[in-house]
Amino acid sequence: MCIQSCKHPLGAAGHGRMKMRQSQAETRRQNVAKRSMTKEAKQLAGLIAGLRKSLDGIHKERTSTKLSGAEMGLLDERRNNLLLTIAALDDRLSAVQGLIDLGRPHIIRVH
């Protein structure tokens, strides 16, 4: 039995297919990342909307009832915390939408 050696360099056989598979895998990763980021953007938008509703509720409570100084202070503190949270989530949403718009989606990990 005679075994002939290949005339092309090692690893060159099927190299075109390998590139195609890598390209398909990269496209798949991009699509998964885009779906993930789109889902995150929708969740952030919903969360921000809910927090803004809470902010409106605090505003109404603050103006409609007669409150003591301590109660007013607590509502102010809650309002300030909500405003900071909304601002941070708005920044995150803006970053996610920017990456999607640029066509450079990737999975953003938060630790």
| Average pLDDT, rounded, for the chain | 83
- Contact predicate 85/65, CB 8 Å: no
d(CA 30, CA 26): 6
CA 27 to chain centre: 19
- Please give the Cα distance from 59 to 80 (Å, whole number): 11
- Structure confidence by residue, pLDDT tens digits, 14-67: 555 666 677 888 888 888 888 889 999 999 999 999 999 999 999 999 888 788
* pTM, full prediction: 0.70
What phi-psi label fits residue 11: left (phi over 0), alpha (psi between -120 and 50 degrees) or beta?
Answer: left
Alpha carbon of residue 77 to chain centroid: 28
